[in-house]
């Protein structure tokens, strides 16, 4: 039951935050600190998605020579840093993943 209560609470908070931009009048402004903090949300969410996929196996850290996901992730990060293009990063990451999977 606690899981469902937590899920319902997260849904309510998410809905309230998203609806607030549409429902609140224009004279209501977000504080500058909150506006600055909201800029980091996409990076934090993406990191929460990809970091466990690269660094964990069976719930524990996995740094080994046969961790092809980690090597492909490092290659994708390098390409993203150099080119700053989403499609190029995805293509390079997938190519590196298949290459390291084939190599290992």
What pLDDT, on a 0 to 100 scale, did the predictor assign at position 69? 93
CB 71 within 8 A of CB 102: no
pLDDT above 90 for 58: no
CA distance 56 to 86: 24
pLDDT digits (tens, 9 = 90+) for 69-101: 999 999 999 999 999 999 999 999 999 999 999
Residue with tokens 């466990």: 52
């Amino acid at each position: 039951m606690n899981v469902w209560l937590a899920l319902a609470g997260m849904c309510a908070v998410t809905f309230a935050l998203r609806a607030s931009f549409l429902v609140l009048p224009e004279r209501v402004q977000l504080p500058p600190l909150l506006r600055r903090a909201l800029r980091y949300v996409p990076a934090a969410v993406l990191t929460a998605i990809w970091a466990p996929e690269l660094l964990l196996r069976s719930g524990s850290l996995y740094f080994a020579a046969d961790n092809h996901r980690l090597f492909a992730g490092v290659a994708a990060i390098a390409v993203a840093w150099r080119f700053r293009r989403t499609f190029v990063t995805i293509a390079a990451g997938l190519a590196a993943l298949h290459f390291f999977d084939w190599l290992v």
